[in-house]
Amino acid sequence: MSLKTDFKINIPDWAKRDTLFHALFWVGLYVALIIIDQNPTSVFTLIIELVNLVFYMIIVYFNLYFLIPNYLRKNSGINYAIALVLTAIILTPIKTILFYLLFTDQPGVQSYFIAKQGIIFFQMLFYGSISTIFQIILDWQKGSVEKMELHHKNTETELNFLKSQINPHFLFNTLNNLYALTLKKSDQAPEIVLKLSEMMRYMLYECNEERVPLRKEVNYLENYLELEKLRQKKHIKIDFLVSGLIKDQKIAPLMFIPFLENSFKHGLNNQLGEGYVKILLKIMEDEIHFSIDNSKTETAPKPHGKKSGGIGLVNVKRRLDLLYPNSHELNLKESPTNYYIDLKIKLNN
């Protein structure tokens, strides 16, 4: 296999930023090597360990900045292993010659280093391999962080897209409600406009947050129901019961309204006789229980080629999966005479 490649050295950003860390590491290693030696106070030991340290640095940085980027990261594992071994083989005699020249007046020491070339080789290979393991761990950590960031960005983009669909969806429905009331020339028009203004402010501005106070979400539901009460026929009964204390709980915005809007659009709006919608919001310490039970006519028309519920219901299901994974439970039931939804959300997640 060919080991030929362009000599290109890539210095990673973390090395540039952490120069002080590198310096402290090598100083610490030098001190540790001296302490481990049998005669740590001698000049002989200081010189030997300094030479050792320099050659360890050479193979480590050559490995990090050249071998790993040009071989290992390009999926050339065999070529990389051969290159690392060859590097250790080349550096071993160079280091031995340097020791030989440093101790020209001590033939016994010269003979010792010549005889220990095998040990010198394995020491070089050991430090090169340790730096490889260290870099693999860093790359794995960096890759994990990048995957998490990418997943977060993708999720955020999808949520923004879903929300951009939800806001106009409710805005148009609410304007239709207002239009129906103005046709009747209702004296309650100023109150209606005020409630609509509050709803639009909430949808267009406050809903940009990932979580909103539960109190504001409940207020939005109440305004929506007040508009519906004015628009619906007298024989339609609308009940909204809030059980529990609203404190500082927060929830994803516009999480309940698609179900409520759906109950009117596909239920009461098609009702010919008496009808009802019963909404229950039960607030607990770390969980919210939201349910709607509404009547419908057995012969309610459905849009051709579409499932009941439309874009709002589809979007809110997807948002629940993204914002409350494994921490929500949604049940939808339909009979010839009623729709029923039951939603539980764990707030601590």
d(CA 272, CA 297) in angstroms, rounded, equals: 7
CATH T-level topology, domain 233-346: Heat Shock Protein 90 (3.30.565)
d(CA 346, CA 349) in angstroms, rounded, equals: 6
pLDDT digits (tens, 9 = 90+) for 119-170: 989 999 999 999 999 888 888 888 787 777 766 665 666 556 556 555 565 5
pLDDT digits (tens, 9 = 90+) for 264-323: 776 665 555 678 899 999 998 889 999 999 888 765 555 444 444 455 677 788 888 888
* Mean pLDDT, residues 216-229 taken together: 87
Is the pLDDT confidence value at 12 over 80? no
Minimum mean pLDDT among 3-7, 19-23, 271-275, 329-333: which range? 3-7
Residue closest to 278 by CA, chosen among 297, 256, 293, 259: 293
pLDDT digits (tens, 9 = 90+) for 73-105: 887 888 899 999 999 999 999 998 888 888 888
pTM for the full predicted model: 0.53
d(CA 210, CA 340) in angstroms, rounded, equals: 28
Residue closest to 255 by CA, chosen among 316, 321, 314: 316
Sequence ranges of the domains in the chain: 13-147, 233-346
- Residue 124: which residues within 8 A CB-CB, separation 6 or more? 55, 56, 59, 87, 88, 91, 92, 95
pLDDT digits (tens, 9 = 90+) for 52-69: 899 999 999 999 989 998
* Mean pLDDT, residues 35-42 taken together: 73
